[in-house]
Amino acid sequence: MGGDPLSCIKNNMLNLNAFSPVYCDTVRDHYGAENTRGRREQLLTKMTFFERFERDILSGAKTITLRDEAESHVTAGQVLPVSTFETDRWFCDIQILEVSPIALSDLNQAHAEQENMTLAQLRLVIAEIYPGLEQLFMIRFRVLNPVGESDTGAF
């Protein structure tokens, strides 16, 4: 994609059901809101979670996710559809509130509470998903419309 911003925006709008990062300066989320980054990056157009986290996300008990660098390309204000990792089943949309780097060694009880688990459980989950990784990104989000409430018609 590259130079033509219009094709970049159109591709972002058309590829909502596939995990296909978009490479451009300006993208529109699936609600049409414009998101601009200062540098060119691939912005995610979708986020997936393991099914075991769905209930916590929908209830509001899980309000952050910890991701590696490759999965950190989102920006505050961006709205993303969320699906299960295992079956790609959509279950809500989220709005990104904050993205910040964090070292594994800096995780504390407050992060664990935002993940709805103990600190020991959080460290085990991170080690299982990202073995040997020290640098993570904390993505804080809020649920916009859970299952059965999508007004986009795309899911």
Verify whether residue 115 is a known catalytic residue: yes
Question: Buried b vs exposed e over 56-93: b needs ≥16 C-beta within 10 Å?
Answer: ebeeeebbbbbbeeebbbbbeebbbbbbbeeeeebbbb
Q: Say whether 28 sits in a helix, a strand or coil.
A: strand
Query: Of 45, 48, 63, 65, which residue is the catalytic one?
Result: 65
Verify whether residue 62 is a known catalytic residue: yes
Backbone conformation region of residue 132, classed left if phi is above 0, alpha if psi is from -120 to 50, else beta: left
Do 27 and 11 touch, CB atoms closer than 8 A?
no
Question: Would you state the structure tokens that stand for residue 34, as one six-digit string?
Answer: 């414009």
Query: Of 45, 46, 48, 62, which residue is the catalytic one?
Result: 62
Query: Of 115, 118, 149, 152, which residue is the catalytic one?
Result: 115
Verify whether residue 45 is a known catalytic residue: no
Catalytic positions are: 62, 65, 115
